Chains A and B, each alone.
Chain A
Amino acid sequence: MTLTNYLVLAAILFTIGAVGVLVRRNAIVVFMCIELMLNSVNLTLVTFARANGSVDGQVIAFFVMVVAAAEVVIGLAIIMSIYRTRRSASVDDANLLKY
């Protein structure tokens, strides 16, 4: 197992997440794709922390997890309320805020 493998895996996960955000309409799925991107970054951070023999990257990874948890709470609440009012979880239907 070399460093490269971890990084390639992280890149693949990030790409899947990014493409998912761009092509999927369901808000829940978009949300999961965002989590995927966050976790790929976490993976990168931990990998470099291990390679450099310092704990800085791991500490940042914890921060990212905490922020992600908070974001999930708020994000899901927003999705719930949009679903209740508009009877749809599609992000393309929630397009009232525009020019």
Chain B
Amino acid sequence: MDPVPATGLLAVSWLLIALPLAGAAVLLLGGRRTDRWGHLLGIATVTASFVLAVLCTVELAGTSGRSVGVDLFTFISTGRLDVSAGLLVDPLSMTFALLITGVGALIHVYSVGYMAHDPARRRFFAYLNLFVAAMLLLVLGNSFVALYVGWEGVGLASYLLIAFWYTRPAAATAAKKAFIMNRVGDVGLALAIFLMFTQLGTTSYAGVLGSVGLLAGGTVTAIGLLLLLGACGKSGQFPLQAWLPDAMEGPTPVSALIHAATMVTAGVYLIARSAPIFDAAPVAQTVVVVIGAITIMIGAIAGCAYDDIKKVLAWSTVSQIGYMFLAVGLGPIGYAAGIAHLLTHGFFKAGLFLGAGSVMHGMGDQTDMRRFGGLATKMKTTFVTFGLGYLALIGFPFLSGYWTKDAIIEAAFDRGGVSGYLLGGVAVLGAGLTAFYMTRLMLLTFFGKPRWEDGVHPHESPAVMTLPMVVLAVGSVAAGFVLVQLAPLADWLAPVFGEPEEAAAPAIPPLVVSVLVTVVVALGALTAWVFVGRREVPTTAPARVSLPVRAARNALYADRVNEAVFMRPGMWLTRALLWVDDRGVDGVVNGIGTGLGGSSSRLGRAQTGFVRSYALGMLGGAVLVAGALLAVTAG
């Protein structure tokens, strides 16, 4: 169905993107002059965007087809390629726009307090605004090219923000790692777009998704797999998951906004947006599901073994996005469930990261959980908001995660057959592991005896930081119920994904699934209490540990595999190329140069300064010319 032209307020929905972009431009070009009020401008632009997004959503809900196109200008027009820049305002894009601007605005507010003592706070807000603008372009664009521009924009913003403290070697390295691993995925996305253009001659959503049926089966599968590669890179999914935990080197608000709530979910958005492609390519869809299931386990296992509070949360993000991939890979029954989990995850994971930031703020930038303990009484607001986020994440009954994660697990079982039970089992097991590592995190941080380093005096963060945490905690509690029960997201998204369909006969009754998941979660939490809560926690991690623990601490050796399979051969290749360039190409060029130089200097010796030898040369030459003329005329 083609989007109808925009009218009224929706016609200026480009302001959603333009406002934060203008904010970033002012802050970056304005320099030190904007230092004093830069953060306020940053908050103002994103908040204005949020208000506009709310108004646009209300207006969109009133239109008949709930799919509105906004044409802006011709972007690329050359030969057969005609890309016009425009926006597609529909329930899916506006849902994301609300999440991005809403959570974005809260995190902007939080950053005012968190970055208060950083001399480069203005630069920080400039990058954050840039990120919000790029992310909005990513979700609002009406073609895969527009999405790609936003895709690269958020990649750039992510790079700049991970390396925000670029004087720290770890941060600089992490930023490069993130950028390069994202590049691998971006190649897949770019190739998918090229393929669409050569096969269909268009890259707009309406054009591509409407004519999937015209393509050969193999082509659709190829496009699907290439899109999936792009999604895996951006979302930190297997096999490109290793960059996300390292990205925690950036400031904590960045981790909350970019590496938990919004950017890393872009892969889920991409797959959901390309739903008709994946629906027509069962092979690609199966690969999505498998990658989701593998990533759930990788993230959950690694999360159990890390001691760095932010890295545990990062692995948890990897794992939760695995759930979303699993959901959108299941096809029509899973799209809405995946997006719903994405939204609730945006709330509680952002809240958890902000809570972790608050803890770090009070503990002198310590991130090692073995140095926390007993903070529940010292930081009451942080404890309560973090605790609510924790309960929402592990799926405590009737909180956000319970509704949305259960929906995904049910959908996985509903797939039917052996694969359905396998996927459902993985999802349930993942939920249990989630409960284990999050309970461990809670116990290490907020309970038990204090294990603080000397001279650390934990204190609650200022109101400018706790207020966003409170708002997000409310969201963590209520969002799931609202999105699944009160005003089902599936109905709102129906214009994009079609009417929600109920499985004819659920493989397992929903109630049984709920009870099963809750029991497994309780078991996970109990195990954590048995292993961590009951005992004294050593302040340094035990060195002599079993093989599985060692593997988990090394994130299942993903870095080493990458190093052995990609990095080393890559280095060999570059070294070989360098050698060829040095010896081969440079050799030829330098050889010609030296040869000419040597021969000419030798030739120069003939210039002796003796006039008579020159005269002899001239005479010889004249005789030669005369002889040649005679030979030609005579012969």
User: A residues engaging B (CB < 8 A)?
Assistant: 18, 21-23, 25, 30, 91-92, 94-99
* Nearest CB in chain B to that of A21: its residue: B615
Interface of B is mostly: helix
The reply on B485 being an interface residue by CB < 8 A is no
Q: Mark B598-629, 1 if CB is under 8 A from A, else 0.
A: 00000011011111100110010000000000
User: B residues engaging A (CB < 8 A)?
Assistant: 604-605, 607-612, 615-616, 619
Are A92 and B607 neighbours in the complex by a CB distance under 8 Å? no
CB contact under 8 A between A96 and B609, given known A22-B616, A22-B619: yes
Are B612 and A91 neighbours in the complex by a CB distance under 8 Å? yes
With a CB–CB cut-off of 8 A, which chain B residues contact A99? 604-605, 607-608
Are A98 and B608 neighbours in the complex by a CB distance under 8 Å? yes
With a CB–CB cut-off of 8 A, which chain A residues contact B615? 21-22
* Nearest CB in chain A to that of B622: its residue: A18
* Nearest CB in chain A to that of B607: its residue: A99
Instruction: Give the docked Cα–Cα distance between A58 and B213 (Å).
Output: 95
Are B612 and A98 neighbours in the complex by a CB distance under 8 Å? no
Are B611 and A98 neighbours in the complex by a CB distance under 8 Å? no
A-B contact pairs, 21 of them (CB 8 A): A21-B612, A21-B615, A22-B612, A22-B615, A22-B616, A30-B611, A91-B611, A91-B612, A92-B610, A92-B611, A95-B608, A95-B609, A95-B610, A95-B611, A96-B609, A97-B609, A98-B607, A98-B608, A98-B609, A99-B605, A99-B607
Q: How many residue pairs between the two chains, A and B, have CB atoms under 8 Å in the bound complex?
A: 30
With a CB–CB cut-off of 8 A, which chain B residues contact A23? 612
Q: Which of A92, A96, A97 contacts B612 (CB 8 A)?
A: A92
* Nearest CB in chain A to that of B605: its residue: A99
Instruction: Give the docked Cα–Cα distance between A25 and B610 (Å).
Output: 10
Min distance, Cβ B329 to any Cβ of chain A, angstroms: 79
Instruction: Give the docked Cα–Cα distance between A30 and B608 (Å).
Output: 19
With a CB–CB cut-off of 8 A, which chain A residues contact B616? 22
Output the residue of A30, A96, A97, A99 with the most chain B CB within 10 A. Answer: A99
Instruction: Give the docked Cα–Cα distance between A25 and B613 (Å).
Output: 12
With a CB–CB cut-off of 8 A, which chain B residues contact A94? 611
Min distance, Cβ A31 to any Cβ of chain B, angstroms: 11
**New A-B contacts (7) at CB < 8 Å, excluding given A23-B612, A94-B611:** A21-B612, A25-B612, A92-B610, A95-B610, A95-B611, A96-B609, A98-B608
* Nearest CB in chain A to that of B606: its residue: A99
Are A18 and B605 neighbours in the complex by a CB distance under 8 Å? no
Instruction: Give the docked Cα–Cα distance between A27 and B330 (Å).
Output: 104
Instruction: Give the docked Cα–Cα distance between A91 and B612 (Å).
Output: 8
Min distance, Cβ B514 to any Cβ of chain A, angstroms: 98
With a CB–CB cut-off of 8 A, which chain A residues contact B610? 91-92, 95
Instruction: Give the docked Cα–Cα distance between A98 and B606 (Å).
Output: 9
Instruction: Give the docked Cα–Cα distance between A30 and B611 (Å).
Output: 11
With a CB–CB cut-off of 8 A, which chain A residues contact B608? 95, 98-99
Min distance, Cβ A99 to any Cβ of chain B, angstroms: 4
Instruction: Give the docked Cα–Cα distance between A21 and B619 (Å).
Output: 10
Output the residue of B605, B607, B608, B609 with the most chain A CB within 10 A. Answer: B609
With a CB–CB cut-off of 8 A, which chain B residues contact A95? 608-611
With a CB–CB cut-off of 8 A, which chain B residues contact A98? 607-609
Min distance, Cβ B579 to any Cβ of chain A, angstroms: 39
Output the residue of A21, A25, A94 with the most chain B CB within 10 A. Answer: A21
With a CB–CB cut-off of 8 A, which chain B residues contact A96? 609
Min distance, Cβ B391 to any Cβ of chain A, angstroms: 91
* Nearest CB in chain B to that of A24: its residue: B612
Min distance, Cβ A72 to any Cβ of chain B, angstroms: 17
Min distance, Cβ B394 to any Cβ of chain A, angstroms: 88
Top 7 closest pairs, chain A to chain B, by CB: A98-B609, A95-B609, A99-B604, A99-B607, A91-B611, A98-B607, A21-B615
Instruction: Give the docked Cα–Cα distance between A96 and B610 (Å).
Output: 9
With a CB–CB cut-off of 8 A, which chain B residues contact A91? 610-612
Min distance, Cβ A39 to any Cβ of chain B, angstroms: 17
Instruction: Give the docked Cα–Cα distance between A92 and B613 (Å).
Output: 10
Min distance, Cβ B630 to any Cβ of chain A, angstroms: 14
Instruction: Give the docked Cα–Cα distance between A18 and B610 (Å).
Output: 16
Min distance, Cβ A29 to any Cβ of chain B, angstroms: 12
Min distance, Cβ A15 to any Cβ of chain B, angstroms: 11
* Nearest CB in chain A to that of B601: its residue: A99
Min distance, Cβ A32 to any Cβ of chain B, angstroms: 14
Min distance, Cβ A27 to any Cβ of chain B, angstroms: 9
With a CB–CB cut-off of 8 A, which chain A residues contact B604? 99
* Nearest CB in chain B to that of A34: its residue: B615
Are A18 and B611 neighbours in the complex by a CB distance under 8 Å? no
Instruction: Give the docked Cα–Cα distance between A23 and B610 (Å).
Output: 12
Min distance, Cβ A95 to any Cβ of chain B, angstroms: 3
Instruction: Give the docked Cα–Cα distance between A22 and B616 (Å).
Output: 7
* Nearest CB in chain B to that of A18: its residue: B619
Instruction: Give the docked Cα–Cα distance between A91 and B237 (Å).
Output: 88
Instruction: Give the docked Cα–Cα distance between A62 and B609 (Å).
Output: 33
